[in-house]
Structure 1
């Protein structure tokens, strides 16, 4: 994994929704420049962009990967955004949709004779064709040459792992970071075969909100054990929200558990991302229908000053936890052990060398006393320091 990626904390934006893009051509990408300082103040140092290439509708039905979507702007707008991000120390990653394309894709002869997951307007590419591999490598290289620092590879799970091994331009761009969208299966095996740096950690995402909703930290403990084992192979890309899932503030049945979810995300190993709006407690339900993503991909105001004030507390909480993550960069590859486990109370310790972070979680309706520390009902505590075992130390911190 690239050295800079060890310290990456991404702010993810879905540009077509964020800028309120309709069917008209307009220079909307510059609107994102108004939010770069906001991302930095949040504590992030990377901008993870959703699709920005010419497409038919939602961006994942690409027409031409070498052309900026006219609804967002043009090459000059892109160049200016990259320059503005880099001037502030922000890395930029793009979303590459190379498993499937729109039916109006510029090279229809490269399409396979199948649709993508039953979506009639999305047609899978034939990844056995050398022309497809050459095209994908060209696209990856083109935008890396233009200043991009990394790539998210959409629906990577549907592409043969060996395909990525052949197209990633490692020799020309050794510092680039590539991660794939993998929802299920053997993550470690896919990384090993594909040559990717990382994949999305959906198993941990599900365990976080599900264990909080069900009052069952045993599920989270099991998932964390599997998560920890992945570190032998790679560092997963972690999240509690993204452009494809119901907002965490909606998914959790008790809004008091948002803090618990975030505390877990930022104190266990991984390369974390924050989906724009989650830091403001945006709500939105993903539905399995046409337009079912609209609620989780809303338009944002032109600048942060126009945000409603009711998300301030959640924003400050993100700042606090991301700040702790930045002060303890070793957490990216830390190992986490479960020090205490019950249905509604849990103690997690993440360690690297002599450095330690102890997270105490209580989602019960009564105060719970861990060894040396009391945590109120429906609350959590985070303790950092050196590992100093002793009879009076809270869980040996």
Structure 2
């Protein structure tokens, strides 16, 4: 963790998928420039909202020129014209930094679109050309074929062993960091050889030592990936899955086990934690019992990690991802233009986020906190989150009976009755205890 910039220890990201957030066309776009609509500036209009929420940074989904959903890049050095212009990015950075907010970009460096200029050049120039070496191309058939990303033919996998590709990605990263970005989320980092990242990232750090690098990794040995790739962190999908699954199935044994493994990761790096993102079902749709949505948030904000809040989750948005064309749309919706257009029933969830983020701000050591399970049943979990001498106790109750536990301290968040050295958390309730 020595290379990770110190500012990350205080980071809480508001994660925005700009194409959806700003209402840009995704499936029915004919490629015509829409730059004059300056949709990226809509994010600027919501920066104060993010600050009031308690966020310290905006994690942007893809914003570079692409052919559809943003993850099929055609030009890494220019903003997608559906979102606006390069100068709109400058405006966003200035407005964010003026409010103390960091900006993290989404780098899709595993694959490109078939419209990527170097790929078109490779097809025209044929085997043996410098351009062809950027990809895994086979010219032996009637027409050239390429290695694709997870079976998606329109996504052309880069040749990450090629020195020119490595230098190109380093230059792209440095370009946008030099323009004001503060970090990179590396899309599909798990599909890229760790040797590639280990070659590229140190080059970028030489010019931008305060930059943050977050790899998207779904499963596997997170710590080994971090060590071999030199990224600062990876996405903690294992804890995400255990959180919603344990709460949905009233099986806190699964969550307790995952928290134990989370402790192990924290020995090497601080994971990026979340209960929702642009690729998964909304937490409010995943957990059927509305009384228990909050329990997932409590876990998010009282365990070690760098929390990420997916836009709309703070308002209790619902959405389910489907395996079809346009199946992501439900979890990548357009955000309203003004606060007044947000549904009234969403604001209690927003205020709950504020309460839990406030708790975390008052206890910044939670960024590194380990957890220790103190009491465990299918429906009740009591754990201690600690770092050195600092600690809080968390009580989660999914059952119809109250949880009674011998515990000292003050109620820092949630609801409980404290009497005679014992605390009682009501059925389906939660509370965090510590010293004020």
TM-score (norm 1): 0.96
SS at match of 1:178: strand
For residue 251 of structure 1, report the CA deviation from its aligned partner: 0.6
Q: CA offsets per residue over residues 287-336 of structure 1, 9 Å max, x none?
A: 11111100000001123232121101111110100111111110000111
| Distance in structure 1 (CA, Å) of the matches to 2:338 and 2:109 | 32
Answering whether residue 116 of structure 2 is matched by residue 116 of structure 1, we say no
Answering whether residue 307 of structure 2 is matched by residue 304 of structure 1, we say no
Which of these residues, 100, 107, 115, is aligned with residue 96 of structure 1?
A: 107
Partner of 2:82: 71
Partner of 2:175: 142
Partner of 1:370: 405
Q: Which runs of 5+ in 2 are unaligned?
A: 123-133, 137-145, 407-421
Partner of 2:131: none
Answering whether residue 192 of structure 2 is matched by residue 159 of structure 1, we say yes
Q: Is the 8 A contact 1:349 1:359 kept in 2?
A: yes
Q: Where in structure 2 are the equivalents of 1:171-250 lying within 5 Å? A: 171-250=206-285
| Distance in structure 1 (CA, Å) of the matches to 2:16 and 2:61 | 6
Q: Where in structure 2 are the equivalents of 1:347-358 lying within 5 Å? A: 347-358=382-393
| Distance in structure 2 (CA, Å) of the matches to 1:343 and 1:373 | 19
TM-score (norm 2): 0.87
Moved more, 276-285 or 119-128: 119-128
For residue 385 of structure 1, report the CA deviation from its aligned partner: 2.2
Q: Which runs of 5+ in 1 are unaligned?
A: 387-397
SS at match of 2:147: strand
Aligned residues: 386
Partner of 2:409: none
Q: Is the 8 A contact 1:270 1:332 kept in 2?
A: yes
For residue 119 of structure 1, report the CA deviation from its aligned partner: 1.1
| Distance in structure 2 (CA, Å) of the matches to 1:223 and 1:283 | 25
Q: Where in structure 2 are the equivalents of 1:19-98 lying within 5 Å? A: 19-22=22-25, 23=29, 25=34, 26-98=37-109
Q: Is the 8 A contact 1:99 1:159 kept in 2?
A: yes
Q: CA offsets per residue over residues 171-223 of structure 1, 9 Å max, x none?
A: 11111000100001100000000000000000000000000011111100110
Q: CA offsets per residue over residues 317-359 of structure 1, 9 Å max, x none?
A: 1010011111111000011111111111010111122211111
Q: CA offsets per residue over residues 222-258 of structure 1, 9 Å max, x none?
A: 1000000111110000000001100000011211111
Q: CA RMSD in A?
A: 1.0
For residue 31 of structure 1, report the CA deviation from its aligned partner: 0.9
Larger Rg over CA atoms: 2
Partner of 1:262: 297
Q: CA offsets per residue over residues 261-312 of structure 1, 9 Å max, x none?
A: 0000000000000000000000000111111100000001123232121101
| Distance in structure 1 (CA, Å) of the matches to 2:339 and 2:7 | 27
| Distance in structure 2 (CA, Å) of the matches to 1:47 and 1:314 | 19
Answering whether residue 166 of structure 2 is matched by residue 133 of structure 1, we say yes
Q: Is the 8 A contact 1:246 1:296 kept in 2?
A: yes
Answering whether residue 413 of structure 2 is matched by residue 380 of structure 1, we say no
SS at match of 1:266: helix
| Distance in structure 2 (CA, Å) of the matches to 1:356 and 1:341 | 19
Moved over 3 A (4+): none
Q: Is the 8 A contact 1:355 1:385 kept in 2?
A: no
Partner of 2:141: none
Answering whether residue 333 of structure 2 is matched by residue 285 of structure 1, we say no
